[in-house]
Amino acid sequence: MNPCFPGGRPGVWSFALSTKRTIMNDHRRLGRELAIFDTDPLIGSGLPYYLPAGAAVRKAVEDYVHELERRNGYRHVNSPVLGKRELYERSGHWAHYAEDMFPPMNVGGEEFVLRPSLCPHHALIYRSRGRSRRELPLRLAELGGQYRSELSGVLGGLTRVRAIQLNDGHVFCAPEQAAAEVANALDLVEAAHAQLGIRAARYRLSLRGDGDKYVDDPGLWARSEAILRDVLNERGRDFDEERGEGAFYGPKIDIQIVDPAGRETSLSTVQVDFFQPERFDLRYAGGGRPVMVHRSVVGSIERLLAHLIEVHGGAFPAWLAPVQAVVLPLSDAKLPAAEDLLRRCVAAGLRAELVPADRGSLGARIRAHRLVPYQLVVGAREAASGGASVRLRDGSQAGDVPVERLAEESRPLF
């Protein structure tokens, strides 16, 4: 990839990140100023909606992660956002997690619950038919909604919401495959973070705490913890241990990130679960019981976008930018050539817009679109040749670059 383009590699847009981070980078302010997301009291607290720019960034992330997973052996599924209360009683969520769940809805004498997690659904997908040992590991992934009954006082922007779109996945594997699958999941996490320009602050081994919040099976916890600890040690990865941060059914590796204001939060996670395969009586031919490896490559879309907004300050890498190219004719006479160029940009896969000359001087239009990676200026020479003079958002000139090359430079790396 040509380093003059603000494309997929982290670091090439560092000019946009060189200023000191302050509260002005808060994603709540930037998200509204850049028309990425908003909220409305009629929809409710903790239920943000995405505007066209935000929907474009979100779709770019979703497409990237979906393809990354596909290339690494995952099969994508879709499951309902509702489930019977009985399902979550079986999974253990009702006993250990009910205080974070929305209350049941009575429909025709049956109680349904907005799901707090996707893993029970994926367990049922696994057991929907008989499985052989040769099918394992079976890697299932889904970008799906889950819901938490958060109190209004803790809600904020995209970082703490009630409706969560989670990049979730579950690997069903034989016990002897579990360590390799944990390592593979960490490989995906690290690849995605590099592509997105995310720097992990630290790795955390999150363990069981005291009380009845956790499944009371010391042997189960010891087996899961040993697998996670061994993988981290084999990778030479430094990590901290924290009691009371594990899932109710087992320990996990949390990848912690820090926002520009210095606040730490969990983003990606990998967990080893012996509990739910037993609860759902999951098996493969020969009587073996699989291990369930939970993993989220980029965590919730909401928390991820909040972090990306703050880290990039709106100057997203080209593959993530809501608008990747803006076409700027010098005059109304150049409008037909600019419209033709716009059609070719869109056909090549670029998210592109046309800003005609009646919206201000060239300089004013450039300033208004300073966060757009590629500004395509169409003057007399460019109109005659069918091209454009490409200006990068750092102010440098790239010359007459073919649209197809811009589109290629605006794709993520795998």
pLDDT of 60 strictly over 60: yes
Closest Cα partner for 257 from 314, 190, 319? 190
Name the pLDDT band for 24 (thresholds 50, 70, 90). Answer: low
Last residue of a domain, one of 281, 312, 343: 312
pLDDT of 102 strictly over 90: yes
Residue 406: both structure tokens together: 């811009």
4 in any annotated domain:
no
CATH of the domain at 397: 3.40.50.800
Q: Within 10 Å of residue 219's Cβ, how many Cβ atoms? A: 8
What pLDDT score was predicted for residue 262?
A: 82
* H helices present in 269-361, as ranges: 275-279, 301-312, 335-347
Same domain? 245 vs 334: no
Residue 379: both structure tokens together: 């003057």
43 in any annotated domain:
yes
278 in any annotated domain:
yes
pLDDT of 4 strictly over 50: no
What pLDDT score was predicted for residue 286?
A: 86
Same domain? 26 vs 85: yes
Residues belonging to the chain: 414
Same domain? 329 vs 287: no
Residues 6+ apart with CB under 8 A from 147: 81, 101, 102, 114, 115, 116, 162, 163, 164
CA dihedral (344, 348, 353, 355) positive or negative: negative
What pLDDT score was predicted for residue 18?
A: 37
CB 166 within 8 A of CB 296: yes
CB 92 within 8 A of CB 279: yes
What pLDDT score was predicted for residue 8?
A: 40
Same domain? 56 vs 151: yes
Grouping H, G, I as helix, E, B as strand and the rest as coil, residue 252 is: strand
Question: For residue range 74-91, what is the model confidence (pLDDT) as tens digits?
Answer: 999 999 999 999 999 999
Work out how many domains the chain is built from and give that number: 2
CA distance 78 to 144: 7
Same domain? 341 vs 307: no
Closest Cα partner for 249 from 64, 357, 150, 117? 117
8 in any annotated domain:
no
CB 225 within 8 A of CB 207: yes
Residues 6+ apart with CB under 8 A from 78: 142, 144
What pLDDT score was predicted for residue 14?
A: 30
Name the pLDDT band for 3 (thresholds 50, 70, 90). Answer: very low
Question: For residue range 356-371, what is the model confidence (pLDDT) as tens digits?
Answer: 999 999 999 999 999 9
Closest Cα partner for 282 from 383, 409, 135? 135
- The upper half-sphere exposure of residue 151, i.e. CA atoms within 13 Å in the direction of its Cβ, equals 3
Same domain? 308 vs 329: no
Classify residue 386 as left (phi > 0), alpha (psi -120 to 50) or beta: left
Same domain? 405 vs 335: yes
Least confident of 96-100, 132-136, 230-234, 296-300: 96-100
Question: For residue range 341-353, what is the model confidence (pLDDT) as tens digits?
Answer: 999 999 999 999 9
Last residue of a domain, one of 245, 280, 312: 312
**Main-chain dihedrals φ then ψ at residue 257, nearest 5 degrees:** -125, 160
Last residue of a domain, one of 312, 336, 367: 312
* H helices present in 203-288, as ranges: 218-234, 275-279
Q: What separation in angstroms does the CA of 272 have from each of 54, 62, 247?
A: 33, 24, 10
Buried b (16+ CB within 10 A) or exposed e, 139-175: bbbbbbebbbebeeeebebbbbbbbbbbbbbbbbbee
Question: For residue range 189-224, what is the model confidence (pLDDT) as tens digits?
Answer: 999 999 999 988 899 999 998 877 889 899 999 999
319 in any annotated domain:
no
CA distance 271 to 295: 6
Same domain? 164 vs 190: yes
Residue 353: both structure tokens together: 């817009």
Q: What percent of the chain has pLDDT over 70?
A: 94
| Element at 65 (helix H, strand E) | helix 52-71
Q: For residues 4-15, give the mean pLDDT.
A: 37
164 in any annotated domain:
yes
Q: For residues 162-174, give the mean pLDDT.
A: 96
Name the pLDDT band for 293 (thresholds 50, 70, 90). Answer: very high
Same domain? 196 vs 169: yes
Same domain? 38 vs 71: yes
9 in any annotated domain:
no
What pLDDT score was predicted for residue 23?
A: 52
2 in any annotated domain:
no
Name the pLDDT band for 407 (thresholds 50, 70, 90). Answer: very high
What pLDDT score was predicted for residue 22?
A: 47
Grouping H, G, I as helix, E, B as strand and the rest as coil, residue 221 is: helix
Q: What percent of the chain has pLDDT over 90?
A: 81
What pLDDT score was predicted for residue 119?
A: 96
The interaxial angle of helices 52-71 and 301-312, nearest 10 deg, is 110
The boundaries of the domain holding residue 91 are 14-312
Same domain? 246 vs 351: no
Name the pLDDT band for 107 (thresholds 50, 70, 90). Answer: very high
Instruction: Return mean pLDDT, the chain.
Output: 91
CATH of the domain at 36: 3.30.930.10
What global pTM score does this model have?
0.90
Same domain? 110 vs 181: yes
